[in-house]
Chain A
């Protein structure tokens, strides 16, 4: 013991140096872990910028894909397709997800609510490729062709558990006194839930929805079996449609350097899109906590 030589107080400080040493090691380890946690994102972003920024131009956003060797190729159709698919997914996922979340929160503790919550968690962990095969079996095969609708439904189903769990959490934070206020005014229960509870929790729910959108915007596997991809400008929801992740996938596995560059640019656009949505989600959350309240 290095401190043993001090004086009569030695027994009290025995092990102090060792404790300090352990403390420093632990702090260092957690710092390293924290640094490593952000390394992937920084590296990915940096590499994408390096590889993708070169191929990024106005043409990329406004032009259609072109055959190898032709200049001015772009991914306008894929960007449009991704936006359309997100819209379709929202039409499927939001009403069901928000409704289920509201049900779970307002009927907390009942058997059915617990069952729904458990199943939502399982659905959340479902590999997206399984969702794709499932959607293909029931939404593509019976109709005999791939379609944007099937793709939207597949990723919409993936949004349901994310949205429902956030909704449940947010609805639970609505004070009971507000519910009682509405009920005491002669509001039916369903109306209280929709007009008072849901509206009060809206800020948080919007955040959850944006996070869910960001999550599914980059999904590729379910779309391979459903939306398929399309090299042309298409607004027909019953036909195959292009999507950024699909376009990136098919360009990345091609043998052409030009297409590789385009794939990098597409990846950059996709990650920026997700980043913007995430930042938007944070902003919505903050403005909710900043304003109102008493």
Chain B
């Protein structure tokens, strides 16, 4: 980056779901995937991560809920602070962290169980609520994922019988049932048809009223449509980050401009 990124105001940074990344680097074995990332992610906004394949945006996303550390031979330096607390500090419980930071994957991956059980899975194990309370949680999560009306009469059917778009929204509902403060979306619509994509985008727009949303996308139009801020990654570095409108209309960095105008990537 040529200039230091502008910091969010203190009032914004105090809100729940604020993420602050300080000189974060990440290695797969000897390959460095992320180089010295400095970034602030605002609560109740959608932050889009864009960049060509292999630029590190998915690695970065998966660092926010520490899902990357399952891979043998990985290493990292630097900090990612969630609400002021470094998620990599010694006392941080990774299970609690993943409840606070939900994630939805590119390829929808419901469990081979009923619709109800899929959504109930997280709360059942993490909070062990009473049956009636659990039903409420499931209904509310499905409503928030804009899926309730479509599935309310067949909650006991297999989740795998739903369409792809419905399965993806079910995965979003499943993440919401944990009542997270951050939602990570890893190309959530790249395998969906245009109508299902639109539904997911509308959902993201609704959800950002309550949550911090970070979305990785290869679709620049999608980033432009739904995000408030956009971060452009290239070769493991954060090249440029700013308001989406500004970044897409007058990028500062030449590489950003080259990417968004389709000259590479």
Contacts and interface: CB of A to CB of B under 8 A. Distances in A.
Interface residues on B, range: 20 to 34
B178 A180 contact: no
Given A191-B125, A200-B112, A184 B175 contact: yes
Contacts, number: 61
A68 interface: no
Nearest to B112: A292
A186 B112 contact: no
B109 A175 contact: yes
Contact of B158 (A109, A200, A292): A292
Given A109-B72, A186-B178, A293-B160, A177 B122 contact: no
A178 interface: yes
Closest 10 A/B residue pairs (Cβ): A186-B99, A184-B103, A177-B109, A186-B98, A185-B122, A181-B109, A186-B95, A294-B160, A186-B126, A188-B95
A187 interface: yes
A188 B122 CA distance: 11
A17 interface: no
A185 B67 contact: no
Contacts of A177: 105, 107, 109
B70 interface: yes
Interface of B: 65, 67, 70, 72, 95-99, 102-103, 105, 107, 109-112, 121-122, 125-126, 158, 160, 167, 171, 174-175, 178
Interface of A: 109, 175, 177-178, 180-188, 191, 196, 200, 292-294
B236 to A, nearest CB: 22
Contacts of A185: 98-99, 102, 121-122, 174-175, 178
A292 B161 CA distance: 9
A201 to B, nearest CB: 11
Contacts of B102: 184-185
A183 B67 contact: yes
19 contacts: A109-B72, A175-B109, A180-B70, A180-B105, A181-B105, A181-B171, A181-B174, A183-B98, A184-B102, A184-B105, A185-B102, A186-B97, A186-B98, A186-B99, A186-B126, A187-B125, A191-B125, A200-B112, A294-B167
A174 to B, nearest CB: 10
Nearest to B98: A186
A178 B111 contact: yes
Contacts of A292: 112, 158, 160
Contact of A184 (B67, B126, B160): B67
